Amino acid sequence: MKYLYYPGCSLKGTSRGYEESVLAAFEALGVAVDELEDWNCCGATAYMAVDEMKAFALAARNLALAELQDGSEHPTLIAPCSGCYLVLSKTQHYLQEYSEVSRMIDGALQAARLRYARTVHVRHPLDILINEIGVQEIARKVRQPLQGLKVASYYGCQIVRPYAAFDDQVNPKTMDNLMQALGAETVDWPLKTRCCGGSLMGTLPEVGVPLSYILLKEALKRGADVVATACPLCQFNLECYQDKMSHQFKERIEIPVVYFTQLLGLALGVSERRLGMHRLLVPMPTVRGGTRPHA
């Protein structure tokens, strides 16, 4: 099985570590992924907020390109950034549900001499790992079990809401199962999909920061060594504002916040550098049990 891969802006910028680790991990699992050529903005944030139709058009172009590039009957497009994942999925959904949208978008694509046959399946890497490759297979390929590492899996909102395509909306488990397959321990906590502060972090820090704080606080309280995320914005919010939190709440908040794909890579024996872990602001502790993979 071959997959198309849609990076989106974040994975080329703030969250390069995510892209690096996704690609490295899939390679280590022997799964081929091709980057979508000539991709454009997924349509998230500003567009979606201001003019949905524009957002849909942008997303639709990516989907059309995917069909063009893949050529198979049902191309699968992997979108690691949950923002992209949501907008692309939402567009796919709207194109199928609402003839009005469908008509306008087809028109827009036509202008760009493109047509979209609605065949693309937008999926998140977690979905692929759990439901296509499977935990058994992954467990078999583990070279550096994450012995004794306590992981708090944090899914964020967008990969399960509003579309619970591959996991439960309230208590998702896919990432936890993955971590367990890697030999790590997972903390059972109730905040897996609670808001990280999102863009409020920038616009209304007095609201945003406490939201992130609540998450990290609970993770620490439940004895987590590291928080695993699946979304660039979550990772950014949870990692970058730890000093601010510590200061604001008068207690040391320090915990590494990584991409779940980085942990996956580690377990598969990929070097930290190739996983972009040198980019972490709060470094990962040595993986107990197994020796630390060499950088």
Q: Which residues bind another protein (CB under 8 A)?
A: 168-171, 189-191, 214, 218
Strand 121-123 to strand 185-186: parallel, antiparallel, or no bridges (unpaired)? unpaired
112 or 207, CB closer to another protein?
Answer: 207
226 forms bridges with which residues in the sheet?
A: 151
- Rounded to a whole number of angstroms, the minimum distance from the CB of residue 188 to another protein is 9
- Rounded to a whole number of angstroms, the minimum distance from the CB of residue 170 to another protein is 4
Helices (H), 71-185: 82-97, 99-111, 125-127, 135-141, 174-181
> 4 and 88 in contact (C-beta within 8 Å)?
no
Instruction: For residue 170, give both structure tokens.
Output: 């309230």
Q: Longest C-alpha distance within the chain, in Å?
A: 58
Q: With b meaning 16 or more CB within 10 Å and e meaning fewer, what string describes 1-29?
A: eebbbbbbbbbeeebebbbbbbbbbbebb
- Rounded to a whole number of angstroms, the minimum distance from the CB of residue 189 to another protein is 7
169 or 199, CB closer to another protein?
Answer: 169
27 or 218, CB closer to another protein?
Answer: 218
- Rounded to a whole number of angstroms, the minimum distance from the CB of residue 20 to another protein is 33
- Rounded to a whole number of angstroms, the minimum distance from the CB of residue 194 to another protein is 8
133 or 191, CB closer to another protein?
Answer: 191
In angstroms, rounded to a whole number, what is the distance separating the alpha carbons of residues 295 and 292?
A: 9
Q: Strand (E) positions, the chain?
A: 2-5, 32-35, 76-78, 121-123, 150-154, 185-186, 226-229, 257-259
Label residue 204 left, alpha or beta by phi (over 0 means left) and psi (-120 to 50 means alpha): beta
104 or 191, CB closer to another protein?
Answer: 191
- Rounded to a whole number of angstroms, the minimum distance from the CB of residue 291 to another protein is 28
45 or 248, CB closer to another protein?
Answer: 248
41 or 175, CB closer to another protein?
Answer: 175
Label residue 71 left, alpha or beta by phi (over 0 means left) and psi (-120 to 50 means alpha): left
Residue 116 has phi, psi (to 5 degrees) of -120, 125
- Rounded to a whole number of angstroms, the minimum distance from the CB of residue 258 to another protein is 22
